[in-house]
Amino acid sequence: MELYKQQIQQTGRIPAELLPKTKNEALSVLATWPKQYYKTLHPATFSDVFKSLTPSIATFRKENGQNGLLATQALLTVIIRDLVRSFNVGQTMDEEQVADLINDIIDQYYWLNIEDFRLCFNKGKAGRYDRNGIFRLDSSVIL
């Protein structure tokens, strides 16, 4: 297991042999390695997302007990920061804006899982949603 930990730290991704095969395994891996799990995901279609073992935001929050909200906020911070770093716009979102956005996502989109975000944000990075380019990146654009 130590070898896998080193590999995960070096590559920033979960090795194929450690990818979850059940929903419970997905919860465990996601709780242990949230950033690496997110970076490992590569859904290409909505069908990939629907077949996913990855838990919804609500399930992830519920299964993390007392720390569920904090764990969910930390996970979404990883996801939003990854998106924000990908765009070269005049101003970036500050910590308070990111925190507000994360709370909006938890409240309004609790049924989504992180593969939904990965697919959506990858398409956004590729310019699939805006033919004229993105000149600002804020909560209203992301939501």
Residue type for position 33: W
- Helix-strand-coil percent breakdown of the chain, rounded to 5? 65, 0, 35
60-63 long-range contacts (CB < 8 A, ≥24 apart) are: 60/27, 60/30, 60/31, 61/106, 61/110, 63/27, 63/31
Overall average pLDDT of the 52-59 stretch: 92
User: pLDDT tens digits, residue range 60-113?
Assistant: 999 988 888 998 999 899 899 888 888 776 677 888 999 999 999 999 999 999
Say what the pTM is.
Answer: 0.81
